[in-house]
């Protein structure tokens, strides 16, 4: 085990005010089970799970309530014991509507977990992958890509490096930080399970240099472990937590355009995912809860809560003492890439890393001003794009033109809109353009199939 | 006339004529021996175009535009100098139908303006319905209703759509039923209806009556009153949403009064 | 597009939800602040005329902007201060003795024709102040090139000891006249150079005092309103060009530092060429832009038969026209692209 | 040096489009996309060079000996038009790829007054054969430069938001005027 500074640094990026001090001192506390939970079937990327319970059924904590539906999908389990009250349509943070199971909770302390695999090092990799799959684990950094798929790269793409993403470059959020501080040893074991499954040579744990105590905690936890684990300290900045940028910083390899990390022999997993893998393998616990940071200038008592999925945002805010001042914006996730929500009646899920409540003074106000061509977005873009030009193309509905100048390489990190003095909604333009490109590609596909 | 004058007049004639002849013959020979076969329709469409070669259509000259029409099915309405007559002749030549039998008009199947339909949150972003719809499902309380950010109005080639109180309205007199607004609406609530049809159900919400009432005071609640008071078969229920069967002639217009949420309206 | 939060409703927008706090107004304010030293120097050296022209240009620009927006039925944009910046910049590019009505005409041209017709700030393709200056220069060449009487020419040295320079010429004008007439090029004493630096010479209001301009430029660089790329590339090109010329033919050319200190080079390089709307967005593009400005400036300045002694504004205008092409050709390498 | 000055003069100082205001039609018509503008430039350079060479021969070997200079305009038009046609046909037959790139612009050039202008100016200046051809080439180069720059601007103003009454050709002409203003700086550099 050794600790090094990441040898490379990607071009671009920004340095926002982090405001992490709001919540980073508060230790993870377990949120009491609410009386009723609405567990969405789509908490991950891909096809929603298929409901496999019906109203009136009794479920235990950990019982399967939604079956994995297709290859890119993840199963869903009951976060608490209780009775299924109904199957309803519920709204997710992104505004998509999906099926959800409403469970009336009943604290009987009973669980229905998987059989623990303590001797994981001597267990067949396929069995571990299946366990991760049946536990419904999806990337907990924000995108929610099913982890089982990520850990099953094709044979022609050997993985030599596992990167554990503990950068947490999103302002305000502290959940990964607290998890690293309090569960460092479990994360290490989780990382080793990933390493074992992929047969990777090294594990690199990436942490930004504004979290020195997390670095120390991870160092301590890893010290007694085997060789091949390395802690890479990244200079604080955004988007250090972005997969492609992180791989570049640590290994100097650039994920090719349109490619995936596995194309350069890397797999990046969030530290929270690593913890979930540990729990699923060693304790047999499916993914039914996670640490969520409830923070922001508009919340009374910022905290890091261990929350069972399906708890509504309103319950989280109430648990944290309610709102402090007139709240203008509620963000599910971090303020750079999270989703603003229109109401608090939204259930938490596997990708909810935080809930940030901001008063009107702290938020971005987009305007319809024209681009003044200052080029700051060009300097800020970590992908080497020209956001100003892209947005102008998209505004003029020249989607083809935008695609030609690498629209699809945009990672929607928001660095451009963060620095734009004209406060243009650049990311929204990019998304709109991407939707247009996707539609066109789908139409072209349909044409060729005809 | 003396011979000087004759010479003075004849020589230029002779020379220019000669030059023209040489050039003409060589061009004719060139055209014959170096001909390249192409779709004869291209030449014919080129004939139909005004031949101003103004490039206003975005193509490099009339021949190029004709080629685009024949080969790539380009839009035939791009030629400004040619005008409507040109469009008609090309339409006739290419066999593209110019108009359908029954005159249709686009209609926004929503009457929930800012007074009757509530908005769930304040939207802050680009003026585009699809973009607004992609953010937390759109700010309108009703997930079926018109968002009113005017994407349809912007694509309308004849400026027939206006946004009033957060609701798009089609001006029947101007609408040419081109269908561009229908394609661009993220909520798919603009439909082509017969221009002659007198009344319509201006609601698109398939939700139960109680849910509709929560978000909009002028949405169809599925009460079925119109099926009782209207003409036989003129109103058809699709779940909790009534709609007009335009093949049935309407005689009893008092349903307009009977509809409790007043979403049956004249257009 | 108006975000309002009247009731209990939250604001929903696309990410990112936070902002670094910069704004167009702040940038324009910074430019105005940075122009203050030059303005003060102009008042000191040219007296009331400086105040008169600045006030007239600024007021007319703002009024024109307001009128255009009203006529176009668009949201008012005076608040973004860009019209004020254009007005001040135009005033600094005018000779002190210019009649007021010409300044008014120039301001209307700058805002009306060069900016608002295109849709306002951000859409214009040419720097409004410079285009207006070029417009005035071509339309009223006489008034635009008659200067007040500064005794700066006393500091010139001539081997023959005869100072044969028309009063009311700028240093560059004097040099060009000499070259055209085949006379000896005047040399500059140290005191003369110092006066060029301080700004006690003939020229447009804002361009003479290099010292004051550099103070403002330092502020702009400090506030990161501009980056070093365009000014550095511009001035470096001019210096290299002038050095080469001087080495090749010292009889008909002046030392590079005279080129740097005279005319509108500093004003142009730091305040006009760096105009965000009309200059490239990438760093590589900015360098090319700066080099292009430098070359064209020196071509206009030094070619014997050229009609104008000074080429900064035309050079920048010319490069403004090339900006879209530079932007097109100088995109950064996309992350992960094969190099 | 003399030739260099001729080139600079024709390209920058007496730019055909921006100071002589010749060839405005294709300048406005084919400046919407850089790709097509490039094709036009190639075709114009080609045709103007050839046309200047041919018309010089015509003038000096046919019209002058016969004292028919007053037929200059007529014959030039005739010759240029047919020349373009001939080139078009030949190109289509023998170099289809070049025809695909340039060919579509050739019929447009027939009506390009810049070509005739170059030919007539040549005769006025009394250039020799080499100089005539060079003048044709550099004038076309100037046209190409103006067209390419203008196309860049045009692509930007296409995305701009002018008031309704200035949209389209109006704003394009205003831009062309301002571009012409920018080129004024070169005036006098070469006589």
pLDDT given at position D101: 67
Q: Return the H-helix or E-strand segment holding A358.
A: strand A354-359
Q: Which residue in A169, A212, A102, A117 sits closest to A333, CA to CA? A: A169
Domain boundary among A250, A283, A316: A283
pLDDT given at position D190: 63
Nearest CA in chain C to B148: C1
CB contact B137 to A (< 8 Å): yes
Q: Given CA atoms A174, A175, A176, A178 in this order, what sign does their dihedral have?
A: positive
Beta strand B167-170 with A266-270: parallel, antiparallel or unpaired? unpaired
CB contact C248 to A (< 8 Å): no
Q: What residues of chain C lie within 8 A of the CB of A341, using their CB?
A: 10, 12
pLDDT given at position A358: 93
Q: What residues of chain A lie within 8 A of the CB of C121, using their CB?
A: 369-370, 372
Is A401 inside a domain boundary?
A: yes
pLDDT given at position A343: 87
In this predicted model, what pLDDT tens digit does every residue of C187-236 receive, in sequence order? Answer: 777 777 888 888 888 888 888 889 999 999 999 999 999 999 999 999 99
Rounded mean pLDDT of C31-53?
Answer: 92
pLDDT given at position C219: 96
CA distance C79 to C58: 14
Residue predicted with more confidence, C214 or C307: C214
Cα angle D163, D164, D170; round to 5: 85
* Residue A162 and residue A19 share a domain: yes
Chain D: partners with 3+ C-beta pairs within 8 Å: A, B, C
pTM of this prediction?
0.88
Nearest CA in chain D to A392: D159
In this predicted model, what pLDDT tens digit does every residue of C43-87 receive, in sequence order? Answer: 998 888 899 999 999 999 999 999 999 998 888 888 889 999 999
Whether residues A428 and B127 touch (CB distance < 8 A) is answered with no
Q: What residues of chain C lie within 8 A of the CB of D162, using their CB?
A: 117-119, 123
Of D163, D189, D190, the CB nearest to C72: D163
A368 to chain C, minimum CA–CA distance in Å? 7
In this predicted model, what pLDDT tens digit does every residue of A111-144 receive, in sequence order? Answer: 899 999 988 889 999 999 999 999 999 998 878 8
Mutation site, B135, B144, B186, interface A, largest A CB count within 10 A: B135
Domain boundary among A238, A265, A283: A283
Is A224 inside a domain boundary?
A: yes
If you ran DSSP here, which 8-state letter would residue A113 be given? P
Is A91 inside a domain boundary?
A: no
CA distance D100 to D85: 15
Residue predicted with more confidence, A134 or D92: A134
Give the residues across from A3 on adjacent strands: A231
pLDDT given at position B175: 84
Which of the residue ranges A15-19, A338-342, B56-60, D185-189 would you say has the lowest mean pLDDT? B56-60
> Quick check: C3 pLDDT over 80?
no
* Residue A386 and residue A279 share a domain: no
D148 to chain A, minimum CA–CA distance in Å? 18
Is A176 inside a domain boundary?
A: yes
The pLDDT confidence band at residue B100, using thresholds 50, 70 and 90, is very low
Residue A424 makes CB contacts below 8 A (sequence gap 6+) with A366, A367, A368, A369, A371, A391, A417
The pLDDT confidence band at residue C302, using thresholds 50, 70 and 90, is confident
If you ran DSSP here, which 8-state letter would residue A27 be given? P
pLDDT given at position C84: 95
- What is the DSSP secondary-structure string of C145-161? T-----GGGGGEE-TT-
Nearest CA in chain B to A96: B137
List C-alpha distances in Å: C138 to B171, C49, C141, C277, D144: 51, 22, 5, 24, 25
In this predicted model, what pLDDT tens digit does every residue of C113-132 receive, in sequence order? Answer: 999 999 989 999 999 999 99
Rounded mean pLDDT of D154-166?
Answer: 86
Is A346 inside a domain boundary?
A: no
CA distance B241 to B60: 51
pLDDT given at position C283: 94
B/D interface, count of CB pairs below 8 Å: 70
Mean pLDDT of chain A: 91
Residue predicted with more confidence, A239 or D111: A239
Domain that holds residue A232: 2-24+153-283
Q: Copy the structure tokens of residue C260.
A: 């740097």
CA distance A337 to A341: 13
Is A288 inside a domain boundary?
A: no
C88 to chain A, minimum CA–CA distance in Å? 19
pLDDT given at position B99: 46
The pLDDT confidence band at residue C252, using thresholds 50, 70 and 90, is confident
> Quick check: C5 pLDDT over 60?
no
CA distance A267 to A250: 12
Cα D8–chain centre separation: 15
Mutation site, C336, C337, C338, interface A, largest A CB count within 10 A: C336
Q: C interface toward D at CB cutoff 8 Å?
A: 71-72, 113-114, 116-120, 123, 125-126, 131, 134-135, 138, 296, 299-300, 303, 305-308, 311, 313-315, 317-318, 320-325, 328
> Quick check: D104 pLDDT over 70?
no
The most confident of the ranges A336-345, A418-427, B25-34, C43-52 is: A418-427
The pLDDT confidence band at residue A432, using thresholds 50, 70 and 90, is very high
Mean pLDDT of chain D: 83
* C-alpha distance across the termini of chain A, in Å: 57
Domains in chain B, please, with CATH?
A: 36-98 (1.10.15.40), 104-266 (3.30.70.20)
Cα A170–chain centre separation: 11
Nearest CA in chain A to C13: A340
Domain boundary among A253, A283, A313: A283
Contacts within 8 Å (CB) and 24+ apart, C327-330: C327/A386, C327/A389, C327/C280, C327/C281, C327/C282, C327/C285, C328/D34, C328/D152, C329/C285, C330/C280, C330/C282, C330/C284, C330/C285, C330/C288
If you ran DSSP here, which 8-state letter would residue D12 be given? I
pLDDT given at position B55: 61
Beta strand B235-238 with A64-67: parallel, antiparallel or unpaired? unpaired
CA distance D174 to C88: 24
pLDDT given at position B48: 83
Q: What residues of chain B lie within 8 A of the CB of C9, using their CB?
A: 119-122
CB contact A111 to C (< 8 Å): no
Rounded mean pLDDT of B170-190?
Answer: 87
* Residue A238 and residue A386 share a domain: no
Mean pLDDT of chain C: 86
CB C282 within 8 A of CB C332: yes
Residue A234 makes CB contacts below 8 A (sequence gap 6+) with A5, A6, A167, A206, A207, A208, A209, A240, A246, A249
The pLDDT confidence band at residue A14, using thresholds 50, 70 and 90, is very high
User: Can you give the three-state secondary structure of A289-343, one letter per residue?
Assistant: EEEEEEECCCECCCEEEEEECCCEHHHHHHHCCCECCCEEEEEECCCCCCEEECC
CA distance C273 to C127: 8
* Residue A252 and residue A395 share a domain: no
Cα angle C269, C204, C210; round to 5: 50
Which of the residue ranges A133-137, A319-323, A365-369, D26-30 would you say has the lowest mean pLDDT? D26-30
Is A77 inside a domain boundary?
A: no
Number of independent structural domains in chain A = 2
> Quick check: C20 pLDDT over 90?
yes
Q: What residues of chain D lie within 8 A of the CB of C322, using their CB?
A: 149, 152
Whether residues B125 and A94 touch (CB distance < 8 A) is answered with no
* Residue A279 and residue A388 share a domain: no
In this predicted model, what pLDDT tens digit does every residue of B200-239 receive, in sequence order? Answer: 999 998 888 888 888 888 889 988 888 888 888 888 888 8
**Residues of chain D above pLDDT 90, percent:** 13
* Residue A157 and residue A18 share a domain: yes
CA distance A269 to A120: 19
Q: Phi/psi at A271 (nearest 5 deg)?
A: -60, -35
* Residue A386 and residue A268 share a domain: no
The pLDDT confidence band at residue D189, using thresholds 50, 70 and 90, is low
If you ran DSSP here, which 8-state letter would residue A370 be given? P
Chain B: partners with 3+ C-beta pairs within 8 Å: A, C, D
> Quick check: A271 pLDDT over 90?
yes
Decide: helix, strand or coil at residue B106.
strand
Residue predicted with more confidence, C291 or B44: C291
Is A87 inside a domain boundary?
A: no
pLDDT given at position B3: 76
The pLDDT confidence band at residue C148, using thresholds 50, 70 and 90, is low
CA distance C76 to C74: 6
The pLDDT confidence band at residue C161, using thresholds 50, 70 and 90, is very low
In this predicted model, what pLDDT tens digit does every residue of A93-114 receive, in sequence order? Answer: 777 788 999 999 988 888 899 9
CB D149 within 8 A of CB C99: no
**Residues of chain D above pLDDT 70, percent:** 95
CA distance B33 to B66: 24
Residue predicted with more confidence, C256 or C234: C234
Whether residues A396 and D161 touch (CB distance < 8 A) is answered with no
Q: In this predicted complex, what is the ipTM?
A: 0.85
Rounded mean pLDDT of D105-110?
Answer: 72
pLDDT given at position A225: 59
> Quick check: A24 pLDDT over 80?
yes
Whether residues B125 and C10 touch (CB distance < 8 A) is answered with no
Q: What is the CATH number of the domain that holds A244?
A: 3.40.50.11540
CB contact B53 to D (< 8 Å): yes
Of A328, A371, A409, the CB nearest to C5: A328
CA distance A27 to B65: 70
The pLDDT confidence band at residue B80, using thresholds 50, 70 and 90, is low
Beta strand ranges found along chain C (DSSP E): 11-13, 156-157, 187-188
In this predicted model, what pLDDT tens digit does every residue of C76-111 receive, in sequence order? Answer: 888 889 999 999 999 999 998 899 999 999 999 999
Rounded mean pLDDT of B141-150?
Answer: 90
Crossing angle for the helix pair C312-329 and C283-302, to the nearest 10 degrees: 150
pLDDT given at position C111: 95
Nearest CA in chain B to C3: B124
Q: Is B105 exposed, middle or buried (0-12, 13-18, 19+ CB in 10 A)?
A: buried
Q: Copy the structure tokens of residue D111.
A: 């009506």
Cα A419–chain centre separation: 24
Of C9, C14, C122, the CB nearest to A373: C122
Give the number of other CB atoms < 10 A from CB of residue A370.
23
Tokens 């508060």 — which residue?
A26
* Residue A279 and residue A160 share a domain: yes
pLDDT given at position D161: 85
> Quick check: A248 pLDDT over 90?
yes
Whether residues B126 and A425 touch (CB distance < 8 A) is answered with yes
CA distance C219 to C225: 9
CA distance B137 to B167: 17
Residue B135 makes CB contacts below 8 A (sequence gap 6+) with A95, A340, A428, B123, B125, C12, C13, C14
Which of the residue ranges A33-37, A338-342, C251-255 would you say has the lowest mean pLDDT? C251-255
CA distance B257 to B252: 11
Residue A312 makes CB contacts below 8 A (sequence gap 6+) with A34, A38, A344, A345, A346, A347, A348
Q: Copy the structure tokens of residue C8.
A: 């209990």
The pLDDT confidence band at residue C153, using thresholds 50, 70 and 90, is low
pLDDT given at position D120: 86
């Amino acid at each position: 085990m050794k600790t090094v500074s990441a040898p490379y640094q990607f071009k671009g990026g920004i340095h926002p005010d982090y405001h992490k001090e709001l919540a980073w001192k508060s230790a993870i506390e377990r949120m009491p089970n609410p009386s009723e939970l609405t567990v969405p079937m789509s908490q991950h990327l891909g096809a929603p799970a298929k409901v496999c319970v019906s109203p009136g059924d009794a479920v235990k904590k950990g019982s399967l309530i939604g079956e994995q539906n297709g290859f890119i999908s993840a199963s869903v389990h009951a976060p608490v014991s209780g009775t299924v009250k109904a199957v309803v349509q519920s709204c997710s943070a992104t505004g998509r509507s999906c099926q959800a199971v409403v469970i009336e909770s009943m604290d009987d302390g009973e669980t229905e977990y998987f059989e623990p695999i303590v001797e994981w090092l001597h267990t067949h990799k396929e069995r571990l992958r299946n366990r991760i799959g049946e536990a419904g684990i999806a990337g907990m950094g924000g995108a929610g890509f099913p982890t089982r798929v990520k850990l099953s790269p094709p044979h022609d793409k050997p993985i030599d490096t596992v990167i554990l993403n503990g950068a947490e470059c999103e302002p305000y959020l502290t959940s990964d930080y607290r998890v690293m501080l309090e569960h460092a040893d479990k994360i290490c074991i989780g990382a080793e399970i990933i390493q074992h499954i992929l047969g990777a040579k090294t594990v690199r744990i990436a942490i930004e240099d504004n979290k020195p105590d997390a670095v120390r905690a991870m160092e301590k936890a890893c010290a007694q472990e085997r060789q091949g684990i390395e802690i890479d300290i990244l200079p604080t900045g955004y988007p250090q937590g972005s997969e492609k940028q992180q791989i570049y910083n640590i290994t100097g390899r650039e994920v090719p355009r349109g490619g995936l990390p596995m194309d350069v022999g890397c797999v990046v997993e969030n530290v929270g995912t690593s913890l979930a893998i540990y729990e699923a393998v060693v304790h047999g616990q499916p993914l039914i809860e996670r640490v969520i940071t409830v923070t922001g200038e508009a919340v009374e008592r910022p905290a890091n809560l261990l929350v069972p999925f399906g708890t509504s945002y309103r319950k989280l805010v109430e648990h944290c003492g309610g709102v402090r001042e007139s709240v203008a914006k509620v963000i599910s996730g971090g303020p750079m890439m999270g989703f603003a929500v229109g109401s608090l009646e939204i259930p938490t899920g596997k990708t909810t890393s935080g809930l940030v409540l901001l008063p009107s003074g702290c938020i971005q106000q987009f305007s319809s001003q024209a681009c003044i061509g200052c080029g700051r977005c060009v300097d800020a873009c970590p992908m080497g794009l020209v956001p100003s030009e892209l947005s102008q193309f998209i505004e003029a509905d020249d989607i083809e033109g935008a695609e030609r100048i690498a629209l699809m390489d945009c990672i929607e990190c928001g660095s451009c809109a963060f620095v734009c003095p004209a406060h243009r909604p650049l990311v929204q333009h990019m998304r709109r353009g991407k939707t247009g490109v996707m539609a066109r590609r789908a139409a072209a596909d349909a044409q060729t199939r005809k | 006339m003396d011979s000087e004058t004759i010479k003075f007049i004849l020589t230029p004639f002779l020379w220019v004529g000669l030059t023209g002849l040489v050039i003409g013959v060589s061009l004719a020979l060139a055209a014959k021996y170096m001909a390249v076969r192409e779709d004869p329709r291209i030449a014919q469409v080129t004939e139909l175009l005004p031949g101003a070669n103004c490039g206003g259509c975005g193509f490099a000259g009339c021949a190029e535009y004709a080629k685009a029409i024949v080969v790539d099915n380009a839009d035939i309405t791009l030629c400004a100098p040619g005008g409507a007559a040109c469009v008609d002749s090309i339409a006739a030549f290419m066999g593209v139908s110019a108009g359908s039998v029954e005159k249709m008009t686009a209609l926004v199947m929503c009457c929930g303006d800012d007074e009757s339909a509530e908005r769930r949150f304040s939207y802050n972003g680009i003026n585009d319905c699809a973009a607004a719809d992609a953010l937390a499902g759109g700010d309108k309380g009703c997930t079926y209703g018109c968002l009113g950010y005017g994407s349809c109005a912007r694509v309308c080639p004849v400026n027939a759509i206006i946004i009033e109180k957060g609701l798009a309205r089609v001006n029947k007199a101007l609408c040419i039923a081109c269908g561009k607004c229908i394609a661009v609406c993220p909520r798919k609530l603009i439909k082509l209806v017969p221009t002659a049809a007198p009344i319509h159900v201006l609601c698109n919400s398939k939700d139960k009556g109680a849910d509709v009432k929560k978000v909009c005071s002028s949405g169809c609640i599925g009460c079925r009153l119109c099926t009782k008071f209207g003409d036989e078969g003129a109103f058809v229920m699709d779940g909790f949403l009534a709609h007009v069967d335009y093949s049935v002639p309407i005689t009893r217009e008092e349903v307009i009064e009977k509809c409790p949420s007043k979403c049956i309206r004249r257009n | 597009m108006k975000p309002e939060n009247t009731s209990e409703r939250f604001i929903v927008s696309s990410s990112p939800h936070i902002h670094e706090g910069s704004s167009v107004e702040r940038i324009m304010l910074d430019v105005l602040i940075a122009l203050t030293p030059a303005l003060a120097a102009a008042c000191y050296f040219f007296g009331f005329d400086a105040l008169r022209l600045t006030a007239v240009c600024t007021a007319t620009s703002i009024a024109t902007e307001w009128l255009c927006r009203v006529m176009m039925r668009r949201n008012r944009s005076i608040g973004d201060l860009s019209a004020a910046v254009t007005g001040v910049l135009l005033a600094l590019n005018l000779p002190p003795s210019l009649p007021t009505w010409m300044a008014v005409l120039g301001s209307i041209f700058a805002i009306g024709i060069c900016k608002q017709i295109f849709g306002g700030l951000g859409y214009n393709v040419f720097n409004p102040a410079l285009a207006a200056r070029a417009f005035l220069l071509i339309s009223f060449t006489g008034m635009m090139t008659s200067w007040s009487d500064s005794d700066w020419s006393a500091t010139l040295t001539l081997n023959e000891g005869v100072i044969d320079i028309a009063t009311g010429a700028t240093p560059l004008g004097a040099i060009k006249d000499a070259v055209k007439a085949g006379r000896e090029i005047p040399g500059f004493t140290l005191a003369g150079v110092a006066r060029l630096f301080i700004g006690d010479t003939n020229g447009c209001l804002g361009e003479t005092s290099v010292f004051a301009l550099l103070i403002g430029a330092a502020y702009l660089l400090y506030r990161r309103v501009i980056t070093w790329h365009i000014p550095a590339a511009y001035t470096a090109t001019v210096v290299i060009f002038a050095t080469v010329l001087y080495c090749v033919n010292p009889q008909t050319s002046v030392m590079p530092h005279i080129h740097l200190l005279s005319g509108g080079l500093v004003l142009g390089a730091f305040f006009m060429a760096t105009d965000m709307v009309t200059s490239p967005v990438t760093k590589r593009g900015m360098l090319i832009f700066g080099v292009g400005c430098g070359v064209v400036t020196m071509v206009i300045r030094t070619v014997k038969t050229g009609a104008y002694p000074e080429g900064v504004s035309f050079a920048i205008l010319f490069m403004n026209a090339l900006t879209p092409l530079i932007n097109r050709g100088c995109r950064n390498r996309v992350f992960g692209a094969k190099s | 040096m003399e030739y260099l000055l001729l080139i600079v003069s024709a390209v920058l100082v007496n730019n055909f489009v921006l100071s002589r205001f010749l060839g405005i039609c294709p300048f406005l018509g084919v400046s919407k996309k850089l790709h097509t503008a490039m094709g036009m430039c190639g075709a114009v350079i080609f045709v103007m060079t050839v046309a200047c060479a041919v018309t010089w021969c015509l003038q000096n070997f046919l019209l002058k000996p016969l004292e028919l200079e007053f037929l200059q305009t007529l014959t030039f038009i005739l010759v240029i038009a047919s020349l373009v046609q001939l080139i078009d046909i030949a190109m289509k037959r023998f170099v289809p790829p070049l025809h695909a790139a340039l060919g579509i612009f050739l019929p447009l050039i027939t009506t390009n007054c810049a070509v005739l202008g170059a030919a007539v100016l040549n005769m006025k200046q009394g250039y020799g054969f080499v100089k005539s051809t060079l003048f044709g080439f550099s004038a076309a180069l100037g046209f190409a430069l103006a067209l390419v720059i203008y196309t860049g601007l045009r692509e930007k103003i296409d995305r701009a938001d002018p008031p309704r009454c200035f949209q389209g050709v109006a704003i394009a002409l205003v831009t062309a005027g301002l571009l012409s203003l920018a080129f004024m700086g070169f005036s006098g550099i070469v006589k």
